[in-house]
Amino acid sequence: MTEFDLTRRQLLKVSAAAASSAVVATRPATEAGAATSAAPAQATQPATVNVLLRVNGTDHQLMLDPRTTLLDALRERLHLTGSKKGCDQGQCGACTVIVDGRRILSCLTLAVMQEGHDITTIEGLGTPKNLHPMQAAFVKHDGFQCGFCTPGQICSAVAMLEEVRAGIPSHVTADLNRKPEAGNAEFRERMSGNLCRCGAYSNIQEAIAEVAGVQR
Ligand code: FES
Ligand code: FES
């Protein structure tokens, strides 16, 4: 399933909420008539939907505006602020999280679309006392400076290595009939969606190469 797939139930939820918002918004003009049409518009609460999110192995029941992105739900409602909002439009990778084993940009998906899926954020990968191997490698190789892009880089790198192991080709895979070779060319290409303003790229590559067990 891709990040853009909606189940029928999720689609109905979003549609119903949007329709009710439209009805509320237009009611003064269509029902109240000319006598009241000059009255100031009443502020209306946005419609909300009930969403069950499974994040880092824990279920969270949330009432959300159906337009809430997964990134905003994680940061603003669940206070999991590891995932960062860099651009909010799919260009920087700072918001990368792992859903059902695949990396996605949480700023480009609605929270309601991820109901029933397994979401892993940087907070769920490891703990300060028990780091994920990729986290430990980033520390060892100084794979960051300011650290803003780092949670997205690490989530992306973890899922990226799984993509290589699963044989999913990239733009630099030479032979599409064979499994891609785990190496720096593949890693650089596959990590190109994660930008680092500090330019820690070479150290990031060293960390990834170590976890993958290849020579840098
Ligand atoms: Fe999602 Fe930049 S914040 S890609
Ligand atoms: Fe600063 Fe990447 S470490 S943006």
Residue 164 belongs to some domain of the structure: yes
Residue 154 belongs to some domain of the structure: yes
Query: Of the candidates 88, 104, 124, which is a domain's last residue?
Result: 124
CATH number at residue 199: 1.10.150.120
CA distance 174 to 47: 50
CATH number at residue 59: 3.10.20.30
Which tops the pLDDT comparison, 52 or 26? Answer: 52
- Domain with 82, as residue range(s), is 49-124
Verify that 106 and 178 share a domain, yes or no: no
Residue 26 belongs to some domain of the structure: no
Verify that 111 and 137 share a domain, yes or no: no
- Of ligand 1's atoms, which has the minimum distance to the CA of residue 86? 3
Q: Is 94 in the pocket of ligand 1 (CB under 6 A)?
A: yes
- Of ligand 1's atoms, which has the minimum distance to the CA of residue 193? 4
pLDDT tens digits, one per residue of 111-154: 999 999 999 999 999 999 999 999 999 999 999 999 999 999 99
Q: Is 198 in the pocket of ligand 2 (CB under 6 A)?
A: yes
Residue 35 belongs to some domain of the structure: no
- Res 24 pLDDT > 80: no
Q: Is 149 in the pocket of ligand 2 (CB under 6 A)?
A: yes
Verify that 139 and 179 share a domain, yes or no: yes
- Identify the pLDDT of residue 11: 53
Q: Is 187 in the pocket of ligand 2 (CB under 6 A)?
A: no
- Identify the pLDDT of residue 71: 98
- Res 18 pLDDT > 60: no
What is the pLDDT confidence band of residue 215, given thresholds at 50, 70 and 90?
confident
Q: Is 51 in the pocket of ligand 1 (CB under 6 A)?
A: no
Span 81-105, average pLDDT: 98
Residue 13 belongs to some domain of the structure: no
- Of ligand 2's atoms, which has the minimum distance to the CA of residue 144? 3
Q: Whose CA is nearest to atom 1 of ligand 2?
A: 146
Q: Is 145 in the pocket of ligand 2 (CB under 6 A)?
A: yes
